[in-house]
Amino acid sequence: MSFVKIYTFQKGRMDSLEKQLICPICLETFTKPVVILPCQHNLCRKCANDIFQSSNPYLPTRGGTAASGGRFRCPSCRHEVVLDRHGVYGLQRNLLVENIIDMYKQEYISSRPSPEQKVDQPICEVHEDEKINIYCVTCSVPTCSMCKVFGAHKDCEVAPLNSIYQTQKTELSDRIAMMVGNNDRIQGIISQLEETCRSIEENGRRQKSKVCEKFDHLYAILEDRKREMNVKVNAEQEEKLNYIRRLTRKYGDHLESMTKIMETGIQTLEEPEMAVFLQNTKPLLQKIAEASNTSHLERVERGYENMDHYSVSFKREDRALRNIDFAREDDEEEEDEDEVAVDADGRAWQTASGEVDSLNEALPPLLPPQPLSTRRPTTSS
């Protein structure tokens, strides 16, 4: 029972001693060499050098260690520590603490069971009891001290984890910042491209609307010309038809009178009395002679029904229409309202009014109908 009490007492003393051997900077057991500050607080020399460099970032360094005098504050009591030209190497080593650490490790740490491994502290896969605490520069992998002394990295160049960590962290941060900048630029380019797409769509709609407007104007002119030409053809057509209808009625009236005279002649032939027959024959023969004379009736000349003098040829206009295209930039356009913007191929729309004017000039003039006096049928002889 007394043995248990003694063990418990010694264990409590060792735990208390362990707390006194913790560096206030790295929160680990002091790493030799241990330096003592003027305020009698202890630090790992490496931790003291880190504090000094962070407090004096603009002082020149040599191999990661301050090479000239400076000052920093004790992390435990905030007492100002002034260094000479030797820097942290000018601080006195605390050999007593270093010896106590050696004794503590030999008597306590070696006998106590190994604590459970923390998830956030990687362990060497080869040496299971060793933490990964150095970086192999040659192989570009983190490793442990045992691998450097006895293992696969004994001939390699190594460096402290924190220095490589800071270097690669800085590099990664710079790369991320560069990617953020690149992403911003790319996003700007994408926005510009999207705006360009919208502009292209809008310009395309506007140009197609202008083209349709010009072609509609051209269609309207062609419709007007077609209507004017048809009016002239219809005018002569009606004039000729009216004349032929009047002439048909005249011939019909003449035929009807001849039919009546013929019926009278047939009735006269049936007359039994010779005296009556002879009385009626003379006037009847005179009427037949008059009816047989058609010289007073007009006769339609050959080709009167022909309307070929209104024929037109659109060969030149057809070629002009088929050659309608976009004008070059150097083409001179005098009418500002008919100008169309330059398209993506560097060619501008040709003004529809110019095409219409050329078509109007190319259209053949309508031939006026000949006077009917020159085309009236000659009278029958």
DSSP string for residues in 130-168: -B--EEETTTTEEE-HHHHHTSTTTTS-EEEHHHHHHHH
**CA-to-CA distance for 349 and 214, rounded, in angstroms?**
10
Residues 6+ away with beta carbon under 8 Å from 356: 217, 218, 221
User: Going from the N-terminus, what domains does the chain have, and what CATH number goes with each?
Assistant: 1-110 (3.30.40.10), 122-156 (3.30.160.60)
Phi-psi map region of 214: left, alpha, beta (phi>0 left; psi -120 to 50 alpha): alpha
Determine the residue type at 326.
F
Amino acid type, 111: S
Peptide bond just before 60 cis, omega within 30 deg: no
Burial status of residue 172 (CB atoms within 10 A of its CB: 0-12, 13-18, 19 or more): exposed
322-335 burial, b if ≥16 CB within 10 A, otherwise e? eeeebbeeeeeeee
| C-beta separation of 136 from 144 below 8 A | no
Contact (Cβ atoms closer than 8 angstroms) between residue 92 and residue 40? no
Tens-level pLDDT at each residue, the chain (381 residues): 443 444 454 555 666 667 778 887 777 778 878 888 888 888 888 888 877 777 776 666 555 555 556 788 888 888 888 887 777 787 888 888 888 888 877 776 556 555 554 446 688 888 777 778 788 888 888 888 777 766 778 788 888 878 888 888 888 888 888 888 898 899 899 999 999 999 999 999 999 999 999 999 999 999 999 999 999 999 999 999 999 999 999 999 989 988 998 898 898 888 888 888 888 888 888 888 888 888 788 888 888 899 888 888 889 989 988 988 887 766 655 555 554 443 434 443 344 344 444 444 444 444 444 444 334 444 443
